[in-house]
Amino acid sequence: MHSKVKIVIVGPPECGKTMLANFLSEAAEIGSGEYRPTKGCRIIEFEIPNVSVKGMTTKAEVELWDVSGDRSYENCWPAIQKGLNGVIFVYNPGRDEHAQALDSLHSHFAEQQGVRETQCIVFCHHKPGTRGKGAKLGSAFNPIPKIDTHIEEDGGGVRRDFSNFIGSVLSHMSAVAERQENFILQ
């Protein structure tokens, strides 16, 4: 079994999306600490060698779309949303305005696209040297798993949580394909 998945990573400006995307993809440039906003969208392609999907291990090809948090790029969202399989919501839990921004992003990238909770995850991203109390997310996020990401303290755990998320998305995609095949056969 070999699977390809398109994941978008969204959140407000300066919440750590690019840092997380670089870390998860094992990109060379993890960052200098200097903030450089993403212009529109950046696509990173990489493989995860061992993802568990319905009790089987597979290799997943991941297209990770790192979407700018700057709302001036909102006109690009329809093109970015096309064919997405999962959404990673990122925010800094120490900033209330970040939690508020996620509500709008959830509406655009999950609700309007018909993306289910099993295809979403929230990374409560703690930038190095910061601590947050946990800004309250809207009720739309209640059924979505929330993961505290402390890359410098538990990078392996963050990668494991990401791999489990990819497995969940691939399981959902497999179930949808099975239902479509069964419908055609009837």
How many structural domains comprise the chain? 1
What is the CATH number for 43? Answer: 3.40.50.300
Q: List per-block mean pLDDT (blocks of 10 residues) for the chain, which spans 186 residues.
A: 86 91 77 71 93 87 94 92 95 83 92 92 77 75 89 86 93 80 70
Between CA 109 and CA 80 the distance in angstroms is: 9
Phi–psi pair at 89, nearest 5 degrees: -95, 130
Which pLDDT score is estimated for 166? 93
What is the distance between the alpha carbons of residues 139 and 107, in angstroms, rounded to a whole number?
A: 12
pLDDT at 10: 96
**pLDDT for 31:** 52
pLDDT at 186: 65
Strand partners, 147: 123
pLDDT computed for residue 131 by the predictor: 58
Residue 161: CB atoms within 10 Å: 18
Stated as kind and residue range, the H or E segment containing 21 is helix 17-25
Q: Output phi, psi for 79, to 5 deg.
A: -70, -40
CB-CB contact of 168 with 119 (8 Å):
yes
CB 66 within 8 A of CB 41: yes
Structural domain range at position 145: 2-185
- How many alpha carbons fall within 13 Å on the CB side of residue 111? 10
